[in-house]
Chain A
Amino acid sequence: MRAFDFAAPRDIADALGLAGDTSAYVAGGTTLVDLMKLDVLAPEQLIDINRLPLHGIRLGPDGLRIGALERMEDIARHDAVAACYPLISQALLSSASPQLRNMASIGGNLLQRTRCGYFRDVATPCNKRAPGSGCPAQSGDNRGHAILGTSASCAATHASDVAVALVALDASVRLRGAAGNANARADGERTVPLADFYLRPGDTPHVENVLRPGELITEVIVPPLEWARRSVYVKVRDRQSYEFALASAAVAVDLRGGAVHDARVAVGGVGTVPWRLPAVEAALRAGQSHEAAAALAAEGARPLAGNAFKGTLVQRVILRALTELAGPR
């Protein structure tokens, strides 16, 4: 860990004013501090945002709005979230441990870095950490790596569970940057669908999202979806808790007369970004069997030596979720 400056501003404008190319915002610190200890990240300045007014969990006619500093555990245990969006609550509760969930903010969760062992070990090359240095995961230890959205430069799995549920729900993030940013309002605010927020690695895996330097996530917005009450987050891993997903599925179904009328399907543990599956959703809308729909999940997959099983597993996770929500079909 390198020496750094520390500031804890009380309002958003001050925070934005302090931010620059070599600063980092810190909320719960559950990713950032780890990576600083490992020398993976070495910001010159930490801006503690915990005093900023970015709180509140509000359910209204325009959907669910979650302040970026709300803690994972508080969101998961919120009655309206658990009732109206079970997949969000379940995804959060399947993540990390209670101690971590009590610390980690939703904004930070969406920005958590990959668990790829090469990214986290500065003694090894990694295009995400040190652009152009190489990607040992392509031929090395890659059981946990992604099969979807990968490139020759990077196969790092996106680690967030709740981002998978949010992508399934067409959620957006509100961002605030310094005033005058292009494509933003005069006060520097813009709203980006989460599906567009994350970037696949391509040949620039170090660029993970559309955030501009100093830009801050202020709020997560989940549009209303009545039938999201019938939803589930199924997470499969080697041990029963405290582990990242080998494969997971966030699924909601609109069940009419016992048949799936509409569905939302996104998967985790298999993609370089939270992975929405429109083809699977379309097949379900078209009345295809669960199995036929799930079979489309791994289309375009590019497995590596150690993770080929994920192609099968991700289909099974979707099937398990659909069976749980709609019975066998």
Chain B
Amino acid sequence: MRSVDREDGPVKVTGAATYAADHHPDGLAYGYLLTSTVARGTILAMDTAQAEKAPGVIAIYTPFHPLELRPYAKEENGELTPPIQNTDVRYYGQAIGLVVAETFEQARDAAALVSTRCDAERPRASFTDGLPSAVGTSVVDVLADGVSSIDEALDAGDVTVTATYTTPAETHVAMEPHATVAFWTGDQVTVHTATQGVRLVVDRLSETLAMDPARFRVINPYVGGGFGNKWDMWPHTPLTVAAARALGRPVKTVLTREQVFTVVGHRPLTAQTVSLSAARDGTLVAVKNDGVSSKSASNGFHEQPANLSLALYGSANLHVSRKAVTLDVPATTIMRAPGESNGSFALESALDELAGELGMDPVDLRRKNDTPVHPATGLPWSSKHLAECYTVGAERFGWSRRSPRPGTVTDGDWLVGLGMATATYGAGRGQASINVRLRDDGRAVVSGTAADLGTGQSTVFAVLAADRLGIPVGRVVPELGDSATPPAANAGGSGSTSTNGPAVQLAADAAKEALVKLATEHEKSPFHGQEVTFSAGEVRSGGDGMPFGELLTSLGVAAVEATATSPRNPVRDHAFRSFGAHFCEVRVNRWTGEPRVTRWSCVVDAGTIVNATTARSQIVGGVVMGIGQALLEDLRIEPETGRFGNATMADYLVPINADIPPIDVEFLNYPDTLLSDLGARGIGELGNVGAAAAVANAVHNATGKRIRDLPITLDKLL
């Protein structure tokens, strides 16, 4: 495994990296969103007279004075309809207007002068109250021959556990707030906007502005975290682009921290009722998970948390159902490991409960039900080394020191518990195109529309291209996030490296071929007409070699380039997934109940690891987010008003450094050669899946208390 420092590290820590909001084109005006303060109803009037007279105000757009936006053609994870085209209010904090002024402060202050009158209705804001009326999608039953229902199968086991697990709404709180800067040149528009994929924004803007995609250039090389909520395009972006057109000058809109909580989506609430039935030896005979998710009235996305129960442990009988409760709350959207993060909290907690009932070690129970084939489809896994994750993790962590009896280990005033859970996330490979340009300065530029959200994707590009070309990593220049470059994978679904990586390799090969062709065919080339090869960054013939930059310079050719496309994974007779195992220690204060995570080991089976340095950070980040999910994060909806009660970074708690112990990460690094020659699956979400359950299981081991309702705050342990 290579370990390479982030190629974008120096520009980020010195502040030289230009994020979307860092662009200040000449003549820039500033937008500030107006947001609703009721959750459901109709806007009757908006009084903008005072605001229009405020210093610096250029324009105020509202449903009564809108910027025209066309309906979206496709459904994504964001809102179904573009902003301010009608007077409907579907959630508290919805964008209902845009104030544009000469400065940000003037726009903000004018926004405070707009008064809005609404005909408000009582919102549907309680997930619990909505559960009885949840609406379902398809049910999946996989039953053994002769078994007529999952409940019959559950009855046939020796030991059965059944419990309901609930998770709250969460939000992404990426460090970079969403921002869009737009400026028009004739009928062309350049957009700097925080996104997980510039192509997504081009597609969305071309739909809603009814313009040819070729007229948009969306640029976003640096992204300050996404976690899913920079996947779709959110209301401030089309408003800003349309305002810039209407006003004939550049406009920038940056969401406030508070607006980020409502305007750009959150992870839905879930409830899962899980039943596991096993033979006395631990063999699962039936797995049933009825999962429900909240869903915003403003969009269609909801999680299907029960699905993971189809994919992880072998069982002759499986059942999942997926339902949704519609609420008048901000958009529900994807957040790191959508469905699987919450799904694993329920399934992995239930496994721990079953292990307790069986008197079995939780690791042994998981080994017993490890399976070489996908439990629901029967397809063999392409490459699965989960058993080794358990073995290596247990050894590194010291799992044998765990007391099987909960509440029996103390250290001073602290109750100490150990817990574990399986990590997993789906894997795949889509189609991607990448361009590699070999320049006369000896550098290789690798470009494609991919995004680096802080994941290390650009460094992965550099490593793969450098290795293919035989040059130092520092001589590769990754250029990501420009819609004018070849279409590569957006950042999401743990698919960036698995999809873009093979394309980088193919493009580097194609660029080498192009160079070789030039070397042999160019009349002034010292290799003209010779048989040449390319290795270690040099064109070679016989004993002579010349670095490609030198050759290009001597020929007066600025660069040679090639674009290659790596196709979608054609393999249909195998199933693909990454796996891992979490082990953690939690301490709970015996007086005041606060839980603190004090040790962590995670062993990862995610195929080839391209760059261990950034891969480790990805896993650590997933675990940190899992600790937040387990102990802190809870976006509380006021049932009366539909307002988020803690929609600020002071009140919505995410972990700080003091909450995070040293995290040990080990990669098994077995290439998944059925997925690609590169053999890399994905690691973006994997570390998050199972992490919260590992904490909950450790809390149980420490205290004897089984908390099935996240987050596990001290009031539940007093």
Which residue of A136, A241, A242, A320 is within 8 Å of B592 (Cβ)?
A320
| Contact (A120, B715) CB under 8 Å given A240-B596, A241-B658, A317-B591 | no
Contact A316 B636 (CB under 8 A): no
Q: Mark A101-124, 1 if CB is under 8 A from B, else 0.
A: 000000000000001010011111
Contact B714 A313 (CB under 8 A): yes
Smallest Cβ distance from A66 to chain B, in angstroms? 27
B281: Cβ under 8 A from any A Cβ: no
Contact A236 B594 (CB under 8 A): yes
Interface residues of A in 240-270 (CB under 8 A from B): 240-243, 246-247
Find chain A residues with CB under 8 A from B108 CB: 1
Determine the residue in chain A with the shortest Cβ distance to B595.
A238
| Contact (A39, B112) CB under 8 Å given A141-B638, A239-B659 | yes
Contact B646 A239 (CB under 8 A): no
Smallest Cβ distance from A6 to chain B, in angstroms? 15
| Contact (A320, B715) CB under 8 Å given A140-B640, A241-B656, A313-B592 | no
Smallest Cβ distance from A108 to chain B, in angstroms? 17
| Contact (A243, B718) CB under 8 Å given A1-B109, A320-B592 | no
Q: How many residue pairs, one in A and one in B, have C-beta atoms under 8 Å apart?
A: 82
| Interface size grouping (class) on chain A | 20 to 34
Contact A317 B109 (CB under 8 A): no
Find chain B residues with CB under 8 A from A143 CB: 636
**Interchain CA distance A100-B594 in the complex, whole Å:** 25
Find chain A residues with CB under 8 A from B648 CB: 117, 120
Find chain A residues with CB under 8 A from B651 CB: 115, 117, 144
Contact B656 A242 (CB under 8 A): yes
Find chain B residues with CB under 8 A from A243 CB: 653
Interface residues of B in 650-679 (CB under 8 A from A): 650-651, 653, 655-659
Smallest Cβ distance from B630 to chain A, in angstroms? 12
A133: Cβ under 8 A from any B Cβ: no
Contact A240 B593 (CB under 8 A): no
Contact A117 B655 (CB under 8 A): no
Q: Mark B702-718, 1 if CB is under 8 A from A, else 0.
A: 00000000000111001
Per DSSP, are chain B's interface residues mostly helix, strand or loop, or mixed?
loop
Interface residues of B in 318-346 (CB under 8 A from A): none
Contact B591 A323 (CB under 8 A): yes
Find chain B residues with CB under 8 A from A247 CB: 592
**Interchain CA distance A207-B643 in the complex, whole Å:** 28
B645: Cβ under 8 A from any A Cβ: yes
| Contact (A313, B715) CB under 8 Å given A117-B646, A323-B591 | yes
A139: Cβ under 8 A from any B Cβ: yes
Most buried by A among B109, B591, B593, B658: B591
Interface residues of B in 586-616 (CB under 8 A from A): 589, 591-594, 596
B525: Cβ under 8 A from any A Cβ: no
**Interchain CA distance A247-B714 in the complex, whole Å:** 11
Contact A141 B636 (CB under 8 A): yes
Contact B109 A2 (CB under 8 A): yes
Determine the residue in chain B with the shortest Cβ distance to A123.
B37
Contact B658 A320 (CB under 8 A): no
Find chain A residues with CB under 8 A from B37 CB: 123-124
Which residue of A141, A313, A316 is within 8 Å of B646 (Cβ)?
A141
Contact B638 A140 (CB under 8 A): yes
Most buried by A among B37, B593, B632, B715: B715
Q: Mark B275-309, 1 if CB is under 8 A from A, else 0.
A: 00000000000000000000000000000000000
Find chain A residues with CB under 8 A from B646 CB: 117, 141
Contact B632 A238 (CB under 8 A): yes
**Interchain CA distance A242-B658 in the complex, whole Å:** 9
B641: Cβ under 8 A from any A Cβ: yes
A22: Cβ under 8 A from any B Cβ: no
Contact A238 B631 (CB under 8 A): yes
Contact A239 B718 (CB under 8 A): no
Find chain A residues with CB under 8 A from B645 CB: 117, 140-141
Smallest Cβ distance from A234 to chain B, in angstroms? 8
**Interchain CA distance A262-B592 in the complex, whole Å:** 24
Q: Mark A1-35, 1 if CB is under 8 A from B, else 0.
A: 11000000000000000000000000000000000
Find chain A residues with CB under 8 A from B650 CB: 115
Find chain A residues with CB under 8 A from B109 CB: 1-2
Interface residues of A in 204-254 (CB under 8 A from B): 236-243, 246-247
Q: Mark B669-700, 1 if CB is under 8 A from A, else 0.
A: 00000000000000000000000000000000
**Interchain CA distance A143-B635 in the complex, whole Å:** 12
Determine the residue in chain B with the shortest Cβ distance to A34.
B650
Find chain A residues with CB under 8 A from B22 CB: none
Find chain A residues with CB under 8 A from B658 CB: 239-242
Find chain B residues with CB under 8 A from A139 CB: 640
A312: Cβ under 8 A from any B Cβ: yes
Contact A239 B656 (CB under 8 A): yes
Interface residues of A in 173-224 (CB under 8 A from B): none
Find chain B residues with CB under 8 A from A239 CB: 631-632, 653, 655-656, 658-659
Find chain B residues with CB under 8 A from A1 CB: 105, 108-109
Most buried by B among A238, A241, A320: A238
Find chain B residues with CB under 8 A from A323 CB: 413, 591
Smallest Cβ distance from B587 to chain A, in angstroms? 11
Contact B594 A238 (CB under 8 A): yes
Closest 4 A/B residue pairs (Cβ): A141-B645, A309-B715, A240-B658, A320-B591
Pick 14 A–B contacts, CB within 8 A, sort by A: A117-B651, A120-B648, A124-B643, A141-B636, A141-B638, A144-B651, A237-B594, A238-B632, A238-B713, A241-B656, A242-B658, A243-B653, A309-B714, A320-B413
Further 12 A-B residue pairs, CB within 8 A, beyond A313-B593, A313-B718:
A120-B648, A122-B112, A140-B638, A143-B636, A236-B714, A238-B631, A238-B653, A238-B713, A240-B596, A241-B657, A242-B656, A320-B591
